Structure 1
Amino acid sequence: MGLGSYLIYIALLMIVPLWAQSKVKNTYKKYAKKATSSFMTGAQVARQILDDNGLYHVKIEETRGMLSDHYDPRKKVVRLSRDNYHGHSMAASAIAAHEVGHAIQDEQAYAFLRFRHSLFPIASLGDKMSIFLIIAGFILGASGLIMAGIVFMGFAVLFQLVTLPVEFDASNRAMAQLVSSGVIRNNEERDTKKVLNAAALTYVAAAMVAVAELIRFVLMFVASDD
């Protein structure tokens, strides 16, 4: 790998994720200070959208941590961080609606979500084991170990890529639900989209880094066989 290529790789690996995280935090901080015209809390928004879609069985819980919001498909629970659970802001409404978007995907058996769930066990294993297999392979000169590590890493990368349509679809559902339910008005749609788009950047950055890492090891493997 030449110096120029190496610098590009380092930029992808470090600068892009840091920029994405900074963008998310700054956007969230800005719109966490702006209340929606409906003045509903994130928990109220989540409950209304869930009920509007007949998901009365899905619970809403408060969870610890900042931006730790998520949907648990096993227990059918939307978990919102404290500020978003109790907050009346555009950020709280957007994030709550996004997580409910995942609950709707789950109820409707959204194809990419089901595929991601099926990938999770091997992708999780690949994420933990691949780098050790690859390093051990290079140290021992065992091409089989390197290839096994690359294959495992490939599943982890595929998981990251499949996550993108899942997250973008959840955000699209969130916008549609926020508008149709009257939580936000027309003049609030642009700002709400900014929150959702900023959050999506973290997934895009993660996918870019994962792909770059996989390509680097594939090229190293090919070069070692020459």
Structure 2
Amino acid sequence: MFISGLTTLLIRYGYYYGYGGTRAGGGNYGLYILIFLAMMILPIIAQINVSSTFKKYSRVGNSRGLTADQVARMILDSNGLHHIQIEHIKGNLTDHFDPRTNIVRLSDSVYGKSSVAAIGVAAHECGHACQHAENYAPIIWRSKLVPVTNLCSHLWYLVLIIGVALSSLTIGTSLIYVSIAMFFAVVVFQLVTLPCEFNASNRALRTLERDGILEMNEIPQAKKVLKAAALTYVTSLVVSLLQLLRLLMSVRRR
């Protein structure tokens, strides 16, 4: 959702992101264009990659005939997490673990499916449940950052717009710097998210192999699905860093 909102904002302002309505000029104009194009193209590539990879391995059933929800229950129980429930939710790859309600939610494309891809995703979400149960440091930090990040991700560009409109005044410049600080908070959140996602995937693959849930030839296939999903988080961070660079370049140009 963050990438979608960011893309909308970029389209709205296009290449004319300079303060006071002036176009980014001088020697930096080419760099502005490259950054803008990278921010537009990278998320599309990442989304196509994860969609095509998941679709490919959704056609590959696991040899034991287990469904993703059954595997999720097995993993949770084997880790002593009998109290965590599993629910079916609508959508495609909207799977997640909700630590507030202790529920692993599996989407239409995963719940009840016996594909290698679905089982990999379900195991990944159980990995997050295990992280919370073990007080895995990055997931705790991430949880604490959620309220601040939600606020900053929704308001930073509004503060920026107001700052640009009032840029002739001292308060306008201050607001511009506040907006950059708010966006930096979003970048920090995304940075903390990466180890959580990679660790959950590694936990999932180890469990699927150790418990014999997937055959040895099926593990690499599940790994490809989880790797493609992880790359979307990497891409999100890269795009945010590019946007942060663009903001700092604009401030410096002023």
TM-score by length of 2: 0.86
Partner of 1:49: 75
Partner of 2:15: none
The one of 170, 183, 189 aligned to 2:200: 170
Partner of 1:102: 128
Pair 1:30-2:56 in alignment: yes
Unaligned runs of 5+ in 1: none
Is contact 1:12-1:208 (8 Å) kept?
Answer: no
Greater shift, 1-10 or 82-91, is seen at 1-10
The one of 187, 196, 213 aligned to 2:226: 196
Pair 1:185-2:215 in alignment: yes
Partner of 1:124: 150
Unaligned runs of 5+ in 2: 1-23
Residues of 2 paired with 1:211 and 1:68: CA distance?
25
C-alpha root-mean-square deviation of aligned residues, in Å? Answer: 1.0
Is contact 1:12-1:209 (8 Å) kept?
Answer: yes
Deviation beyond 6 Å, 4+ runs, structure 1 = none
Greater shift, 10-19 or 43-52, is seen at 10-19
Partner of 1:140: 166
- Higher Rg of the two aligned structures: 2
Q: 1:12 Cα shift?
A: 2.2
Residues of 2 paired with 1:38 and 1:140: CA distance?
64
Kindly indicate which of the two structures has a greater share of residues assigned to helix.
1
Residues of 2 paired with 1:135 and 1:215: CA distance?
17
Name the amino acid aligned to 2:62. Answer: T
Residues of 2 paired with 1:100 and 1:21: CA distance?
23
SS of corresponding position for 1:200: helix
Q: 1:212 Cα shift?
A: 0.9
Residues of 1 paired with 2:211 and 2:106: CA distance?
19
SS of corresponding position for 1:82: coil
Pair 1:83-2:113 in alignment: no
Partner of 1:151: 181
Partner of 1:39: 65
Equivalent pairs, count: 224
Q: 1:168 Cα shift?
A: 0.5
SS of corresponding position for 1:60: strand
SS of corresponding position for 2:189: helix
Residues of 1 paired with 2:50 and 2:176: CA distance?
36
Q: 1:8 Cα shift?
A: 1.9
Is contact 1:38-1:182 (8 Å) kept?
Answer: no
